[in-house]
A and B are shown apart, each in its own frame.
Chain A
Amino acid sequence: MRGTDDPTDEHWVDPEIIRPYVVTRGRTQPAHGRFDLISMALAVGPPPGPDAGLDPEHLRIIQLCREPKSVAEIAAYLDLPAGTIRVLLGDLFDRELVSAQEPRSEVDMHDMKMYRAVLDGLRSL
């Protein structure tokens, strides 16, 4: 390999690939939670001030999650991979700034109440 320790040789850096890792400071797993694409998150408590030591991406998530949003939606609006959002959500959950829900892989698919609610909701669209 040529020039990997040459600080001026930076042409291999693809910002599209690097950005997610910079945002999470290289972390690929959230500190807490196993959020899947449809795990819902909601901001709780008063919005943190500028001295809270949060990154801009954290603050954008808090702003987005004034209404419940899924991991997939947050990822789409911030234009970051879902895995990155999981890490950031884990931080916010740790600091009690968001309430989050683990995937309901245990969503009760035998619950008639759920089916009725979904049918009623679809019919009234």
Chain B
Amino acid sequence: MVFARSERPRLPTAIKILVAGGFGAGKTTMVGAVSETRPLRTEEVLTDRGIGVDDLTSVEAKRTTTVAMDFGRITLGSDYVLYLFGTPGQERFWFVWDELAEGSLGAVILADTRRLADCFPSVDYFERRGTPFVVAVNCFEGAPTFELDEVRLALQLNPSVPIIMCDARKRESSREVLIALVKHSARLRAEPVGS
């Protein structure tokens, strides 16, 4: 719904892609590598709904939490703007993800082979939610190298989920990851049902 009253200027359509992964996996690095500006940071004050496992004071019906998110922008012609949001890393902020994931094109899960287990929660989350995702193995120097098939096995990924090597510091490499995600998302969502 567009609220133009007196004039009808054209607003581009904003598209959202999430960049997830464990702490230190290179989320903000990737956002910065491929965005047109340095990574920006926004704070969102959110209401913590029904999480409260560590909240024994049921006096307050709702808690609010301020969550910082790094993000970047890629302008795609005059019709589309792509926003990349790094998901807040701490597990206790998971309830934020629902708001971020809502209406997103998909997600990139960055994996660090030194701490592969760190991306299990992201894989679980996006699988459960039905959000299209790709796994990008960020090749850190000195990190053990694995065949992609080994990583796929370790993460118990569905064979249809693309998995690619990348260098999150490099624009070209990060761009290829995004292209892989957009293609994958298109395949999942744009095909006629049943084909």
CB-CB contacts below 8 Å: A27-51 with B? 32-33, 36-42, 44-45
Measured in the bound complex, the distance between the Cα atoms of B40 and A72 in whole Å is 9
Nearest CB of chain B from residue A33's CB, rounded to whole Å: 7
CB-CB contacts below 8 Å: A69-103 with B? 70, 72-73, 75-77, 81-83, 93, 96, 99-103
Measured in the bound complex, the distance between the Cα atoms of B80 and A120 in whole Å is 11
CB-CB contacts below 8 Å: A96-125 with B? 96, 99-107, 109-112, 114-115, 117-123, 125
Instruction: Determine the chain B residues whose CB is within 8 A of the CB of A117 once the complex forms.
Output: 76-77, 79-80
Question: Given contacts A39-B14, A75-B42, A115-B185, are A32 and B3 in contact (CB under 8 A)?
Answer: yes
| Closest Cβ neighbor of B34 among chain A residues | A125
- Cβ of A26 < 8 Å from any Cβ of B? no
Instruction: Determine the chain B residues whose CB is within 8 A of the CB of A70 once the complex forms.
Output: 14, 73, 81, 83
Q: In the complex, are the beta carbons of B73 and A102 less than 8 A apart?
A: no
- Cβ of B11 < 8 Å from any Cβ of A? yes
Instruction: Determine the chain B residues whose CB is within 8 A of the CB of A121 once the complex forms.
Output: 74, 76-77, 80, 82
Instruction: Determine the chain A residues whose CB is within 8 A of the CB of B175 once the complex forms.
Output: 122, 125
Measured in the bound complex, the distance between the Cα atoms of B66 and A119 in whole Å is 34
Q: In the complex, are the beta carbons of B45 and A107 less than 8 A apart?
A: no
* Interface of chain B: mostly helix, strand, loop or mixed: mixed
Instruction: Determine the chain B residues whose CB is within 8 A of the CB of A82 once the complex forms.
Output: 42-45
Measured in the bound complex, the distance between the Cα atoms of B3 and A29 in whole Å is 17
- Cβ of B1 < 8 Å from any Cβ of A? yes
Interface bits B65-89 vs A (CB < 8 Å: 1, else 0) = 0100101011011011111010000
* Interface of chain A: mostly helix, strand, loop or mixed: mixed
Number of interface residues of A (CB under 8 A): 46
Measured in the bound complex, the distance between the Cα atoms of B45 and A36 in whole Å is 12
| Closest Cβ neighbor of A77 among chain B residues | B40
Contact residue among B11, B102, B186 (Cβ-Cβ distance under 8 Å from A115): B186
Q: In the complex, are the beta carbons of B102 and A105 less than 8 A apart?
A: yes
Q: In the complex, are the beta carbons of A103 and B15 less than 8 A apart?
A: no
Q: In the complex, are the beta carbons of B7 and A99 less than 8 A apart?
A: yes
Measured in the bound complex, the distance between the Cα atoms of B178 and A121 in whole Å is 11
Instruction: Determine the chain A residues whose CB is within 8 A of the CB of B99 once the complex forms.
Output: 36
Q: In the complex, are the beta carbons of B178 and A122 less than 8 A apart?
A: yes
Measured in the bound complex, the distance between the Cα atoms of B43 and A96 in whole Å is 26
Given A37-B16, A75-B43, 7 new contacts (CB under 8 A) = A37-B71, A45-B7, A76-B71, A83-B44, A102-B2, A114-B80, A121-B82
**What are the 8 tightest A-B residue pairs by CB atom distance, in nearest-first order?**
A121-B76, A76-B40, A38-B14, A115-B186, A105-B103, A75-B42, A99-B4, A72-B42
